[in-house]
Every structure is written in C-alpha cells, then in structure tokens.
Amino acid sequence: MSKKFWNCLVCLGLLLITAGCSAGESEEQVEVMISAAASLTDALTDMKASFESEHDNITLTFNFGSSGKLVQQIEQGAPSDIFLSASKKDMDTLEEGKLLLEGTRVDFTANELVLITNKDELLTVDSFEDIDPSTIAHFAIGEPEGVPVGRYTKEVLENIGLWDPLQDKMVLGSDVRQVLTHVEMGNADLGVVYSSDAKISDKVKVLAVASAEWHGPIVYPGAVVSETKHPEEAKAFLAYLTSDKGKEILKKYGFK
Amino acid sequence: MSTTDYTPLMLSLKIAGISTVIVFITGVFFAHLLSRKQFFGKSVIESLFLLPLVLPPTVVGFGLLILFGKKGWIGSLLIEWFDVQIVFTWIGAVIASVVVSFPLMYQSASAAFGSLDSRMQNAARTMGASEWKVFRTITFPLAWPGLLAGLVLSFARGLGEFGATLMLAGYIPGKTDTIPMAIYFAVESGQMEKATFWVVIIVALGFSTIMWLNWWSRRNMERYKNGHT
C-alpha cells in the first residue's frame, strides 16, 4: 500500500463529502422546531425518520420537556413552530394568550394512566384502590401542579380517596420520564405513568390501569405556534401526525 | 406572602452548610496531601477530582443514582448494613452538593498551598516541629485567604445545586425541596410570584456571599501590605 494510494483515497473521500453538501443545499432546507411533551419522545423520534423521508426539504428538530415548561418557554418567545402538548390545559393557556395559529389546533392522540412497579419487585397490587400506604416507602408521581401526568394522577388518587394517605410517600418527578426512572431503578416502589411510557420500558411491569372515569380525558392536542416562520411545513407535519401512518406509529408506542 | 413556606430556605442552608464542612475538610486534606508529593498518576487523580466541575449535572446525578440508588453499589450495601437509604432523602442532596462543590474547594486549596514559600515550613521542621504542628501553625494560616475563597465558592455552589440533587434526592416538598427546586417547579406550574420570591432570595444570598468574600479579601490584602498580619 503506497502513500499515493492513501492520498487518493482521502481526496476521493473529501470530494464525495463536498458533493454531498452541495446536493443538499440545492433545495431550500426548512427546519421545523417542535416543542413536544416528554411522553412523546420515542414515538416522535421514530416518526421523524419516516416523515423526513417523505419531505426531503423539511428537517424536524425536537425540544422535549414537560408541557408546563414548554408553555413557559413559548410564552417567553422561545423559537418554536409546533407545540405538542400532553394536556388540554397547557394548550388552552397558549390559545388564550393568542399564541397559536388559528384553526390549527387538533387532538391527535390519547393515553391512559397505569400503575407500575419494578420488574423485580414482589409487591402485589391489583388495582389503584389496592394501594396500601403502609407497605410502600416511596410513591413516584409527576409534580401535580405543572406536570400533566401528575395532575391526572392527583385526580385519580383524590377520586379513590388515596391522595391524603399517600401524601408523605410521594416523590414528585419533573416529567413523566423521571417518574419512570425512579421506578426503573427500584428507588420508588410504585409509580404512575402513561401506558405509553410503561410500554417502552422493559424494567417495569404494569399492575393496573386507571379507570377513565377517575380523571379528565388524557388527550394530546397539537397546534402551530403563531410565531412560526414556516406555517406550511408545520401544518404538513400536523397533517402527517393525524394521518393513518402517523396514528400507526403512535399506536406502536402505546398511545390510543 | 403570609403563607410562604420557608422550608426551602432552611433546607438549602442546612444542606449547603453541611456539604461545605465536609468539602472543606476533605478538600484541604487531599490538596495538602497531594501538594507535597510528586508521583506517577498524580495528574490522573487531580483530573478525577476536578471532573464533576465540567460534567453536566445530569451525568453526575446519574452516576450518583448508580452508586447510591436502592440497587446501587453503595446504596444497596448501606441499606443492608445500616438500613440507611440515601436516595430521596436530604442526605442525598448533601452528597450531590459535596460532589459538585468539591472541585472548587480542591482547586482553591491546591493553589493556596502551591503558592506558599516552602522555606518557612522547612525552617519549622528543622526546629523540630511535627508535621501536624507545621500545618496548624504555618501552612494553614498562610493559606487561609485561598482556603476561605474555596470555602465560600463551595457554599455558593452547594446552595445553587439543582440537577444532580433532583435526580438523587427527588422532589419531596418539606423534605428535599431546596430553593433551586422550589424555583424550578414554581416556574413549571406557572406560579410566577412564588418563583420570583425565591429568585430574589437566592440572588441576594449569592450576591452577599460574594460581596463579603471580596470585601474580606481586600481588607486582608491591605492588612498584609501594611504589615500587620
């Protein structure tokens, strides 16, 4: 192998890279910034690949966080084209503040609340009403004021009369994924997350599903943010999200 | 704000205070130990000491969870031997605070010891002073301005610690809700008034701490210049 050969190879490589760059630049690339609820992380990451392959000129960028925090960010003017919320309330906040592009709001999926425990845990609880505060040390839930999953959990626990008895066992997560982590690592005995989160984890098992009557409907509203510079591209993604293909991907990740 | 709950303030001061004491003792000990020795691998150890300073808080928090979680290497032993649980307690917050502020203390102490004139210590040794006496009467007083700077910075860092604390200590109102956590969750739930209140408090605390340090070291410098040390 001579030195010349390697030099040629490097040159060829550089040539290919430059060629690739110019090919990409020939078409106007649009970056669509999506602020999305943390619970959508896996489904959206999956959807990104299939959406981008159909829309060559659009790149999706995600900002995941709890819906409450995302609302704060958008209100403070953080760049964002689409908001995908895990709760109606947070979307209402933006709508009341006239921060949404009119007529773009749509409920694109739904979710359920489930009671989970670590795979290795021997705890036997068959339903939410079965939870015995004296047998557990830590109960992980979402923070009930700002994190939607926490708000729904509070509604459920209040409905079955366990909110007060469990008060001093609660560890409040900053988003649904943190609640999941607390249970996955075995630090909390029980936790309440969305069925979609329980589904993507192989370290937890679902003990019970909360009755839909105990809490307000868990719908995921999405909308284009009024500050957007790419309304057409943003609308295209929302349309994809509600199409059969989008629904199929969401279903794969435990959404309804 | 008559219904204001002051536990975050008390907790923050308690956690940062205890953490600072631990960090001060260990930081001074290791900095002094290493300042007198040159050996193979010293820079590796020093880099390890300073690592938490450059790592993202979530990495530190994750590492601490792996170590101190219920199933963690140290955490599981502590539960087995002493029935002590670290995760989701204020002790967890102290540990997170110690880990992130140790580098600041170590760095300050290391610089302070490094800049000392070793002839003074050697002179004391020739007069038969024990190592402990040399440290107590010469090294420590001479290095004190640098050590104090480290102490104050460690306290301020401990006061502001959030990321690793949230992961290890969790957010349990009344038990592990330090000021930074109270701010984070107040903002998240749109309670701007509460958030502002705590922001003002923590800015005032941090600002006065640093002001005091500056004032103290300037006064000290002047005294040093005027020759009554």
pLDDT tens digits, A84-102: 998 898 999 999 999 999 8
In this complex, is the C-beta atom of B184 within 8 Å of any C-beta atom belonging to chain A? yes
Comparing CB atoms, the residue among B85, B88, B171 nearest residue A174 is B171
CA gap B200, A38 in Å, rounded: 30
| Cross-chain residue pair A171–B70, CB shorter than 8 Å | no
Q: Looking at residues A182-209, what average pLDDT do you find?
A: 92
Over 80: is that where the pLDDT of A14 sits?
Answer: no
pLDDT in tens, chain B (229 residues): 446 788 899 999 999 999 999 999 999 999 999 988 888 888 899 999 999 989 998 899 999 999 998 888 898 899 889 888 889 999 999 999 999 999 999 999 999 999 888 888 889 889 988 889 999 898 998 898 899 999 999 999 999 999 999 999 999 988 899 999 999 999 888 888 999 999 999 999 989 988 988 888 888 777 766 765 4
**What's phi and psi for A227, nearest 5 deg?**
-75, -5
pLDDT tens digits, A41-66: 999 999 999 999 999 899 999 999 88
Comparing CB atoms, the residue among A143, A182, A188 nearest residue B185 is A143
Over 80: is that where the pLDDT of A8 sits?
Answer: no
Q: Looking at residues A142-168, what average pLDDT do you find?
A: 92
Comparing CB atoms, the residue among A145, A146, A172 nearest residue B172 is A172
Least confident stretch, A160-164, A183-187, B217-221: B217-221
- Minimal-distance CA residue of chain A relative to B87: A187
CA atoms within 13 A of residue A50's CA, in its CB half-sphere = 15
What is the sign, positive or negative, of the torsion defined by CA atoms of B8, B14, B17, B22? negative
Over 90: is that where the pLDDT of A15 sits?
Answer: no
| Cross-chain residue pair A146–B69, CB shorter than 8 Å | no
pLDDT tens digits, B118-129: 888 889 889 988
How far B152 CA lies from chain A's nearest CA (Å)? 30
| Cross-chain residue pair A145–B184, CB shorter than 8 Å | no
Asked whether the whole model's pTM tops 0.90, one would answer: no
* β-pair partners for B199: none
**What's phi and psi for A210, nearest 5 deg?**
-75, 140
CA gap B92, B114 in Å, rounded: 33
Over 50: is that where the pLDDT of A191 sits?
Answer: yes
How far A171 CA lies from chain B's nearest CA (Å)? 5
Chain A residues contacting B via beta carbons under 8 Å: 66, 68-69, 71-72, 93, 137-138, 140, 143, 145-147, 170-174, 178, 182, 185-188
In this complex, is the C-beta atom of B185 within 8 Å of any C-beta atom belonging to chain A? yes
Q: Taking CB atoms and an 8 Å cut-off, how many pairs form between chains A and B?
A: 63
How far A37 CA lies from chain B's nearest CA (Å)? 13
The CA angle B140-B143-B149, to the nearest 5 degrees, is 120
| Cross-chain residue pair B188–A145, CB shorter than 8 Å | yes
**Run of H or E residues at A233:** helix A231-242
- Residue B120's pLDDT is 86
DSSP H helices in chain B: 7-35, 42-54, 57-68, 73-82, 90-114, 118-126, 131-134, 140-160, 163-169, 179-188, 192-226
End-to-end alpha-carbon separation of chain A, Å?
A: 59
- Residue A10's pLDDT is 63
How far B56 CA lies from chain A's nearest CA (Å)? 17
Over 70: is that where the pLDDT of A1 sits?
Answer: no
- Residue A6's pLDDT is 66
* β-pair partners for A33: A61
Interface predicted TM-score (ipTM) of this complex, two decimals: 0.77
Q: Which residues contact B55 (CB under 8 A, 6 or more apart)?
A: none
Collect all residues of chain B within an 8 Å Cβ-Cβ radius of residue A178: 166-167
Give a three-class secondary structure readout of A46-93: HHHHHHHHHCCCEEEEEEEECHHHHHHHHHCCCCCCEEECCCHHHHHH
- Residue A16's pLDDT is 57
Strands A219-224 and A82-84: antiparallel
How far A85 CA lies from chain B's nearest CA (Å)? 14
**Probe site for chain B from A187, A190, A203 (most B CB atoms < 10 A):** A187
- Residue A19's pLDDT is 54
Q: Looking at residues A238-247, what average pLDDT do you find?
A: 93
- Residue A205's pLDDT is 92
Q: Which of A84, A31, A82 is nearest to A58 (CA)?
A: A31
| Cross-chain residue pair B65–A185, CB shorter than 8 Å | yes
Collect all residues of chain A within an 8 Å Cβ-Cβ radius of residue B65: 185, 187
Percent of chain A topping pLDDT 70? 89
Comparing CB atoms, the residue among B69, B170, B189 nearest residue A145 is B189
Q: Which residues of A171-204 are buried (b: 16+ CB within 10 A; e: fewer)?
A: bbbbbbbbbbbbbbbbbbbbbbbbbbbbbbbeeb
Q: Looking at residues A233-245, what average pLDDT do you find?
A: 93
Assigned token pair, A57: 């000129």
Angle between helices B7-35 and B90-114 (to 10 degrees): 40
Q: How far is CA B43 from the centre of its chain?
A: 21
